[in-house]
Amino acid sequence: MGNTSNILQTKRIGSKSIGMTEEPPKKKITRKGLSTAFKLYKYIKPYRKEYAIGLFFLLGSSLSNLAFPKLLGDLIKTDESGTLGQNINQTALILGVVLILQSIFSYFRVVLFVNVTEKSLAGLRRATYNHLIKLPIKFFESKRVGELNSRISSDVTLLQETMTTTLAEFIRQIIIIIGGTVLLAITSVKLTLFMLVILPPTMVMARFFGRYIRRLSKDVQKKVADSNTVIEETLQGIQSVKAYTNEKIEISRYKKLTESIAALGMKSGKYRGAFSAFIILGLFGAISAVVWQGSRLMLAGDLDAGDLFSFVIYSVFVGGNIGGLAGVFANIQKFIGATEDLFELFDENEENIQTPKNIPEKYRLRGAISFKNLKFAYPKRPNIDVLKNIKLNIQPNTMVALAGTSGAGKSTIASLLLMLHYPEKQQLFYDDTDIRDFPISVLRKQIALVPQDIFLFGGTIRENISYGKPGATNDQIIIAAQKANAMEFIDRFTEGLDTVVGERGTQLSGGQRQRIAIARAILKNPRILILDEATSSLDSASEKLVQDALNELMKGRTSIVIAHRLSTIRNADQIVVLEHGEIVETGSHYELLAKEDGKYKNLSDLQLS
């Protein structure tokens, strides 16, 4: 089996694939990174008015937040006689109005930011997917599916979190820190300087301490997951464990893991205890120190009780937001990293994909194919020629088989015929027209591939067959299924053509999947047909049904058949034997068998033996 079908098919992998669970790396905030991040504005621009209104509500919410401690302090302010002032009710009313305004501002800020973010990122997801699906095959050969999936899922999710929460939180914290510090200074410059010396550093230390403990907790979780893997592997392979009498080895392996989990857990416990002690001593100690210093100023007549109360709340606000900036800054670094990784995809050049309704007459294939001294090397291995000096003429409506050992270059020829890889100019021709002169979509629309490893989408049989001709009528689908010998098993299903095939067609047998793929190709009605090991993995009964369907499919069109099983190509009009990327023999089945010590005869004798 060649790699042509793998090239054409998207490999689906589980959520544990590489790239799916990895966090985007933190990147330093550089001019280039910020420039890349600003590319997102293209997707926000249509909703910029909505976003500006959201920023207004964010500003209002933050400012009303700053008024809250001041009003609380005013509630307990005393007058000159030392008793509470007479404006308590008025202050309480203002406080209630501020709380209502803050609630309204917060509601509309969140709603507007979420609306803009969701609509912007929907456009970004579509643009990323549309670009990704138009990239050439050479790009996918050097990338993992999990990594690409991560770009559209994990990275965009991180952008979503940043645009809805992180940026708003960053702006809010800056407003609170600056505004709070100004209000503190207005209340008491001396106490403000004292607070800034002890409280913010304590908050920052608490933040980093907490992050270290969370990292330890993640390490414990990872070790627990590893131990669960040992249990799962051991129980699934219990027959091998017992057959090789390795019970003690597995017991020892599990013991080491559980001991390391316990050690990490105890280490984490020590740090959690230290963190608790630090919070009590450091954080509450710092607040106590501020209150102590404020009380001294009260005794000196430099500060009112209400002002001290407001000062303490402002101090907690400012200190907490300074400590929180570290986390916000880390998220922004991840955001820049995710943005750079995502937009790297857009640096790749797309294929010129079109959706031609009618094929121009000059590009309509008649079925003749010519190779003129063709040579080819894959982009990743430019110094190794996979094909060398291929000279071959294929007449219209003939069946040509490509034979040879694995690695001879058979599937590479198939990928070149489909222009999944690009040959040099003047080396490959369809009907005397250079393949490089054809629009890609126009060419591929006239070629069909039936591989060995059939990929079916997880929908219904009807949907999978109609993939060959989107918009096909029910009658056309049924006729294609009949010609492919597929109705023989489809009629046995209760839901017929509407039977769900399951992911990758796992609900169907190999022969059934092959016949659905053949029906898909029949419906497409191609001028050129490529069969890549289409029956090599089937049992005799299935092979007979599939081979009959293939014979029906090959009528009236040029067919290129790649085969290891030589019995399937006896009736080929021409058999081309490849070895190390070169044509070593051509002829019919019987002509090649008649050659003494011929490559084809040796392959045939080897299979018979």
- pLDDT of 21 higher than 50: no
Q: Is-contact 435 596, C-beta < 8 A?
A: no
Q: Which helix (H) or strand (E) holds 62?
A: helix 48-75
- Give the distance from CA 144 to its chain's centroid: 9
Q: Does residue 77 surpass a pLDDT of 70?
A: no
Residue 223 above 60 pLDDT? Answer: yes
Look at residue 409 and give its three-state secondary structure: coil
Residue range 172-199: mean pLDDT, rounded = 77
Tokens of 398: 């003939």
Question: Do residues 78 and 85 lie in contact, with contact meaning Cβ atoms separated by under 8 Å?
Answer: yes
pLDDT at 346 > cutoff 70? yes
Whether the per-residue pLDDT at 243 is higher than 70: the answer is yes
- Quote the CA–CA distance of 344 and 333 in Å, as a whole number: 17
Q: Are 26-186+334-352 and 454-576 the same fold in CATH?
A: no
pLDDT in tens, 281-302: 666 677 777 777 777 777 776 7
Half-sphere exposure of 590 (CA within 13 A, CB side): 1
Which residues have a Cβ under 8 Å from the Cβ of 72 and sit 6 or more positions away?
Answer: 95, 309, 310, 313
More confident residue, 11 or 503: 503
Cross-strand partners of 392: 371
Asked if the model's pLDDT at residue 8 lies above 50, the reply is: no
What percentage of the chain reaches a pLDDT higher than 90? Answer: 5
For the chain, domain boundaries = 26-186+334-352, 189-302, 454-576
pLDDT value, residue 10? 36
Whether the per-residue pLDDT at 1 is higher than 60: the answer is no
* Residue pointed to by tokens 């390391």: 260
Please give the CATH superfamily to which domain 26-186+334-352 belongs. ABC transporter type 1, transmembrane domain (1.20.1560.10)
Highest mean pLDDT among 52-56, 72-76, 221-225: 52-56
What is residue 441's predicted lDDT score, i.e. its pLDDT?
87
Beta-bridge mates of residue 400: 560, 574
With the CA atoms of 588, 594, 599 and 603 taken in that order, what torsion angle do they form, in degrees rounded to the nearest 10?
A: 90
Instruction: Give per-residue pLDDT as tens, 101-126.
Output: 888 888 888 888 888 888 888 888 88
Confidence at residue 76, expressed as pLDDT on a 0 to 100 scale:
66
Q: What tens digit of pLDDT does each residue of 450-469 get?
A: 887 788 887 888 998 998 88
Which pLDDT score is estimated for 371? 92
> Tell me: the pLDDT tens digits for 429-443?
999 899 998 988 888
Q: For the chain, how big is the Rg over CA atoms in Å?
A: 36
Proportion of the chain above pLDDT 70, given as a percent = 80
Q: Domain 454-576: which topology?
A: Rossmann fold (3.40.50)
